[in-house]
């Protein structure tokens, strides 16, 4: 075989190997990453940006975060933030009763895992599009559902509160029920102590 044919054949084979690779390195149009840092660059990525991306093209997450989303080459697992699983932010056993079951979790683990910039805020004052402020339900701060002074004598002090504020402030689905007849796993109904309450 002549040297020209060998060289030509080698060039053809080389071009067949190199040509398909010429597209590598182009930016993926669905990537939500900054190619120079390899990180998500949108300032609103957490909490809402990644939620939208997962709903739109979540399959693309597995390239970096692994087939089971346990970290992959990014070394960031979904469960770093999500306490339940890749889709569930809170522990799975909470189900629809997060309002009632989060109390025991905070007693056992503290509020550190809640005080995250993309969850309930580092100061627990809430994050738009994510977790509400603790004080939106807890009148006495993150660890007290009722006003702090009630901790001394809730029985006598709640009457003065109702005298000052409307009973509707207690009538929420997660406190004493919208009809004040109690909320499952949470506050008792007014009729528990006040049988004539209407």
Domain edges within the chain: 92-136, 148-192
CB atoms near residue 121 (< 10 Å) = 19
pLDDT given at position 142: 77
Residue indicated by tokens 């993309």: 118
Report the predicted TM-score, pTM, of the whole model to 2 decimal places.
0.62
pLDDT tens digits along 133-181: 988 888 887 778 888 888 788 888 888 888 888 888 888 888 899 999 9
Burial of 171 (0-12, 13-18, 19+ CB in 10 A): middle
Across 51-80, average pLDDT: 86
In angstroms, the CA 98 to CA 92 distance is 10
Could you tell me the pLDDT band of residue 124, with boundaries at 50, 70 and 90?
very high
Q: How confident is residue 59, by pLDDT bands cut at 50, 70 and 90?
A: confident
The helix (H) or strand (E) run that includes residue 34 is strand 33-34
> Over the chain, what is the mean pLDDT?
80
pLDDT of residue 8: 63
Query: Phi and psi for 182 in degrees, rounded to 5?
Result: 105, 155
Give the pLDDT confidence score for residue 30 in this predicted structure: 59
Closest among 94, 89, 166 to 132, alpha carbons compared:
89
**Residue 189: pLDDT band by 50, 70, 90 thresholds?**
very high
Q: Count the helices and strands in the chain (H runs, E runs).
A: 5, 2
């Amino acid at each position: 075989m002549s040297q020209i044919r060998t060289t030509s054949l080698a060039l053809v084979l080389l071009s067949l190997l190199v040509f398909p690779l010429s597209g590598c390195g182009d930016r993926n149009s669905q990537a939500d990453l900054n190619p120079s840092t390899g990180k998500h660059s949108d300032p609103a990525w957490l909490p809402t940006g990644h939620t939208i991306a997962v709903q739109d093209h979540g399959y693309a997450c597995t390239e970096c975060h692994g087939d089971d989303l346990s970290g992959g080459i990014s070394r960031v697992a979904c469960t770093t933030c999500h306490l339940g699983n890749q889709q569930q932010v809170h522990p799975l056993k909470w189900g629809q009763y997060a309002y009632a079951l989060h109390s025991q979790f905070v007693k056992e683990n503290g509020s550190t895992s809640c005080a995250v910039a993309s969850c309930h805020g580092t100061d627990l004052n809430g994050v738009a599009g994510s977790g509400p402020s603790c004080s939106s339900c807890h009148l006495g701060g993150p660890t007290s559902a009722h006003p702090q002074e009630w901790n001394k004598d809730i029985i006598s002090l709640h009457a003065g509160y109702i005298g000052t504020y409307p009973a509707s402030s207690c009538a929420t689905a997660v406190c004493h029920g919208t009809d004040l007849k109690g909320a499952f796993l949470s506050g008792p109904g007014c009729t528990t102590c006040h049988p004539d309450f209407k």
